[in-house]
């Protein structure tokens, strides 16, 4: 039985990856942070009592700020694969907390790699690199594009990316990076723009909200469907040699396009609800991200199956259903028809356990 350790298992990608690996027969170990409130709602539906002799999911308290603790976990678990997804992942927040972001998102990777090296455990390592690292570099961006970070988050990810390459080349560790473009889902954090919009669409329909405050509507992003991206993450660690891969759809859309698609899907006009708010603009933003994922396609046949319009419908359907209303249903149909196997509509985040906090970023 393969054994994997996932940092960031309570996040969007970590929760999908844990589901995928359990479906593949892995034993899955995950790092979670101690909090005074529940922060494990995304993995509640796959939780297993560790006393159960058949249990294959185990959770450990830990923090990316603490090398000794990470080294102990890696030494004791002795994973075959480490998926390092944990990070302070919000770009706007990184402008408010640059030092913390550098510590967790940047140095956190160095700590895990050093824990692997010191423990002497032979394991494959995955680094969650980001298209945000490309910054101003012209689109489409691929593995050879120069890195021109434009946020403290991006600068931290560039450090993490290069320290991964350094450990691969210095110590022969099988260390690979996935340079992933934006990927979204009903499990996306509520303060990222796509989820903020789809939650607002649902709240407007339910009569709970009549204003949506947003920042830069001109920014263009390459948005894909998160479960397909965790399939790519797994494939990256199954290659014969460690390497770096860009993952994205190759299409780009503006925040305005996303608004148009999401509100029109339920028969609303976004212009009647959206107001610009300076607090959501960043000191610097990236104008356009668009992936050239031809290397991943060539090396292991990865290609996205869910289109931009389908992604929007999946997310709106989920958020509408979450408020107890009947969704239009096209998104649900997409998931039923495309048959991911390991991931079905009814395995979405349990609505009742979701955070009720309003988006603040
Ligand atoms: P996410 O939902 O924000 O999840 C981040 C995870 O990291 C959460 O489980 C979080 O725990 C954990 N974490 C944060 N600080 C930590 C700390 N100090 N110690 C231990 N764990 C900590 O992010 P995601 O969207 O799943 O993304 C996964 C990774 O891919 C991140 O590294 C992100 O930067 C990167 N990435 C994401 C995208 C994207 O579009 N989603 C694109 C490119 C790269 P809590 O639940 O307790 O907060
Ligand atoms: O949804 P966002 O916050 O995602 P962003 O900044 O692109 O970062 C995400 O993708 C990266 C990959 O490229 C990841 F590495 C990172 O961890 C994260 O997952 O913002 C998208 C765009 C930005 O241009 C932002 O300025 O939407 C614009 N935007 C406009 N109004 C807003 C808002 N973003 C947020 N979060 N909130 C707004 O009200």
Reported residue count of the chain is: 361
Distance 231 CA to ligand 2 centre (A): 22
Report the alpha-carbon distance of residue 132 to residue 155 in Å, rounded. 9
> Which pLDDT band holds residue 18 (cuts at 50, 70, 90)?
very high
Report the alpha-carbon distance of residue 55 to residue 103 in Å, rounded. 33
In this predicted model, what pLDDT tens digit does every residue of 232-284 receive, in sequence order?
999 999 999 999 999 999 999 999 999 999 999 999 999 999 999 999 999 99
Q: Whose CA is nearest to atom 21 of ligand 1?
A: 86
Q: Whose CA is nearest to atom 12 of ligand 2?
A: 182
Of 148, 153, 145, 149, give the one whose Cα is nearest residue 108. Answer: 153
Poorest-confidence range of 34-43, 139-148, 290-299, 301-310?
A: 34-43
Ligand 1 neighbours, Cβ below 6 Å, are 7-8, 10-14, 31, 33, 39, 63-65, 85-89, 104, 128, 130, 180, 182-183, 189
Distance 49 CA to ligand 1 centre (A): 24
Distance 1 CA to ligand 2 centre (A): 38
Total Cβ atoms within 10 A of residue 263: 25
Do the beta carbons of residue 213 and residue 280 sit within 8 Å?
A: yes
In this predicted model, what pLDDT tens digit does every residue of 24-50 receive, in sequence order?
999 999 999 999 988 898 998 898 898
Q: Is 16 a catalytic residue?
A: no
Q: Report residue 5: phi and psi, to 5°.
A: -115, 130
- pTM (predicted TM-score): 0.96
Which atom of ligand 1 lies at the shortest distance from residue 8's CA?
A: 9
Count Cβ atoms within 10 A of the Cβ of residue 282 and give its class: 0-12 exposed, 13-18 middle, 19 or more buried: middle
């Amino acid at each position: 039985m393969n054994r994997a350790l996932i940092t960031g298992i309570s996040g969007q990608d970590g929760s999908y990856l844990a589901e995928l690996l359990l479906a593949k027969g892995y034993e899955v170990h995950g790092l979670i942070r101690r909090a005074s409130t529940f922060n494990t709602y995304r993995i509640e539906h796959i939780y297993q009592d560790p006393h159960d002799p058949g249990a294959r999911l185990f959770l450990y308290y830990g923090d990316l700020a603490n090398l000794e603790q990470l080294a102990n976990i890696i030494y004791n678990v002795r994973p075959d694969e480490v998926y390092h997804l944990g990070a302070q992942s919000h770009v706007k927040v990184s402008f408010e907390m640059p030092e913390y972001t550098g510590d967790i998102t940047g140095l956190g990777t160095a700590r895990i790699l050093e824990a692997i090296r010191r423990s002497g455990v032979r394991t494959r390592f995955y680094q969650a690199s980001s298209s945000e690292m490309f910054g101003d570099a012209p689109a489409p961006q691929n593995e050879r594009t120069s890195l021109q970070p434009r946020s403290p988050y991006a600068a931290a990810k560039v450090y993490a990316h290069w320290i991964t390459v350094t450990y691969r080349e210095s110590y022969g560790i099988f260390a690979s990076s996935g340079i992933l473009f934006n990927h979204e889902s009903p499990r996306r954090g509520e303060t990222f723009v796509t989820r903020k919009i789809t939650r607002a669409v649902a709240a407007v329909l339910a009569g709970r909200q009549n204003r949506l405050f947003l920042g830069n509507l001109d920014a263009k992003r390459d948005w894909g469907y998160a479960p397909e991206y965790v399939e790519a993450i797994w494939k990256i660690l199954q290659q014969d040699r460690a390497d770096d891969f860009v993952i994205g759809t190759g299409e780009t859309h503006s925040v305005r396009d996303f608004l148009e698609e999401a509100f029109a899907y339920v028969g609303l006009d976004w212009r009647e609800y959206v107001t610009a708010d300076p607090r959501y603009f960043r000191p610097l933003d990236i104008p356009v991200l668009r992936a050239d994922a031809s290397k991943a396609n060539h090396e292991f046949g990865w290609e996205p199956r869910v289109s931009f319009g389908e992604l929007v419908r999946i997310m709106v359907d989920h958020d509408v259903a979450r408020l107890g209303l009947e969704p239009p249903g096209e998104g649900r149909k997409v998931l039923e028809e495309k048959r991911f196997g390991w991931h079905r509509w009814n395995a979405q985040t349990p609505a009742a356990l979701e955070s009720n906090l309003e988006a603040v970023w």
